[in-house]
Amino acid sequence: MRHNRRTKKLGRNAPERQALMRNLVSSLLMYQEITTTVRKAKEAKRLADRVIHMGKSDTLHQRRKAFSVLQSHDLTSKLFKEVSPRFKARNGGYTRILQLAPKRKGDGADMAILELTEKEIKIKETPKKHKAKKDAHDHEHTAQDTQAAAHPHAAPETGSRPKHAEPKKEKPQKGTFFKNLGKFFRNKGGG
């Protein structure tokens, strides 16, 4: 029986509301946080927590139930392989809502961020490391070049270095088109 259980309609009929919630949960799993209204965030939080809980037990039945919500094979596999294993130690509270201070300009709706509590950590490598590896790689080639110069009759090594250095392309100078255009018209008029 449905005693005192009223659904929040969000100004939509049932199929539109289901599609909205599926899209919000799919975006949450894809991007790990979304910005939406407070009311939509509260409704999407309920469904997102249910879907993440499904992903904690990797059975065929749970995969089919998660797919019925997410409607994407890629997202379903991401849920079971990447997202849900982060929450193995938790018994709930997979998402949180952070309310934003300014209201939306168009209609004054309260805005919020819905995010996963355990986010994926992405480590960015510094460009210095790449440069150091590249310099070391260049030093290997210069050592091979000096050996080849010392022994010109020796057989060339089959390495990964290119046979000929490609010439660098020069960038066209800015503003040359209009300068040349003025010269063209001056010559045409003078005859």
The pLDDT-based confidence of 4 (bands split at 50, 70, 90) is confident
Best CA proximity match to 31, nearest among 106, 103, 83: 83
Residues composing the chain: 191
Comparing 17 with 11, which gets the higher pLDDT? 17
Comparing 5 with 160, which gets the higher pLDDT? 5
The pLDDT-based confidence of 54 (bands split at 50, 70, 90) is very high
Beta strands in 13-119 (DSSP E): 33-37, 95-99, 111-116
The pLDDT-based confidence of 1 (bands split at 50, 70, 90) is confident
Comparing 92 with 191, which gets the higher pLDDT? 92
Residues 6+ apart with CB under 8 A from 93: 49, 117
The average pLDDT across 64-81 equals 94
**Residue 43: its pLDDT value, please?**
93
CA–CA dist 119, 116 (Å, integer): 6
Q: Are 20 and 50 in contact (CB under 8 A)?
A: no
pLDDT digits (tens, 9 = 90+) for 93-150: 999 999 998 899 989 999 999 999 988 777 777 777 555 555 555 555 555 555 555 5
| Domain locations along the chain | 14-116
> CATH for 14-116?
3.90.1030.10
**Residue 163: its pLDDT value, please?**
60
How far is CA 108 from each of CA 18, 62, 82, 114, 154, rounded to the nearest angstrom? 24, 39, 36, 19, 79
Residue position matching structure tokens 């590249």: 134
**Average pLDDT taken over every residue of the chain:** 80
| Angle (CA) 177 178 181, round 5° | 90
Q: What is the pTM of this model?
A: 0.61
The average pLDDT across 74-92 equals 93
The pLDDT-based confidence of 179 (bands split at 50, 70, 90) is low
**Residue 35: its pLDDT value, please?**
96
pLDDT digits (tens, 9 = 90+) for 115-130: 999 887 777 777 775 5
The average pLDDT across 24-30 equals 95
